[in-house]
Amino acid sequence: MSTFNNPKSNFGDLAKKMGIGGNEEKPQLRTAPPLTSTVKKNTATVISSDVVIIGNIKSREDFELNGEVVGDIESQGTIRINGKVKGDVKALNVLFQHASYTGNIVSESKIMIDCDTSITGDISAKTVTIDGYLKGNTVADEEVTIKAQAVVQGNITARQISIAQGAQIVGSIETKATPEPSEIEVDHSAFIDETTSSILASMENEEEPEASSEVIA
């Protein structure tokens, strides 16, 4: 007895072996997470070490200088100077690290000079910290801190001055204390004016004597 093979069955088996048709699993689609913004606010502008700028710089934000600038720098934020500058600087905070600087510095808050920095010029701020070389005068409204590796050639004036052992200073040191009440100047003319005005006011308020109706012959 001969057996009859179903051609459809053989074709189906062959298709399964070849991976065609059948109940193969469909690939699952994965939903990608939504994109989120990663923009950082108030990021500092960085000037790289291979940049040389000849001219003045003005900035409203913080910035870091690793290159060289010949000109004045002004910023409403914090300036980090790691390069070379010839010119005056004015900013909220001025931080020096591995820097070479020639010019005057004015800060509304603090100036910090690390041990690998060399500065020639006068500096002024609320607080000053020096651990490097400074040739120039220093004026601080509050405090000046001279660290052990500092070499200062110039006068120092501040309300409070602290000097670490090992620091070298060639110049005068002056502390300015808060004025006592007796040292406060008083404008005595103000008191004289007030006294004079009060006397005039009292004279105006005085009643004039009533005229007598009696006639004396």
Identify which of 59, 121, 118, 69 has the alpha carbon closest to the alpha carbon of residue 91.
59
Question: Is the distance from CB of 80 to CB of 44 less than 8 angstroms?
Answer: yes
pLDDT(186) > 50: no
**Amino acid 217: pLDDT:** 40
From residue 143, how far is each of 7, 27, 81, 172, 195 by CA, in Å?
100, 70, 22, 16, 43
Question: Is the distance from CB of 100 to CB of 82 less than 8 angstroms?
Answer: no
d(CA 167, CA 146): 7
Tokens of 200: 């005039």
* Stretch among 28-32, 56-60, 156-160 having the lowest mean pLDDT: 28-32
Domain ranges of the chain: 45-175
**Amino acid 214: pLDDT:** 47
**Amino acid 76: pLDDT:** 94
Reported as a pLDDT band with limits 50, 70 and 90, residue 184 is very low
Work out the average pLDDT over 194-202.
Answer: 58
**Amino acid 191: pLDDT:** 44
What confidence tens digit (pLDDT) does each residue in 6-49 have? 555 555 565 565 555 555 555 565 555 554 434 444 577 899 99
**Amino acid 192: pLDDT:** 44
Element housing 107 (H / E): strand 105-113
Report CA Rg, the chain.
41
Question: Is the distance from CB of 134 to CB of 122 less than 8 angstroms?
Answer: no
* Stretch among 16-30, 67-81, 174-188 having the lowest mean pLDDT: 16-30
Element housing 205 (H / E): helix 188-205
Three-state SS at 1: coil
**Amino acid 145: pLDDT:** 97
Q: How many C-beta neighbours within 10 Å does residue 22 have?
A: 10
pLDDT(157) > 70: yes
* Stretch among 92-96, 189-193, 199-203 having the lowest mean pLDDT: 189-193
pLDDT(206) > 80: no
Q: How many C-beta neighbours within 10 Å does residue 111 have?
A: 26
Work out the average pLDDT over 151-178.
Answer: 94
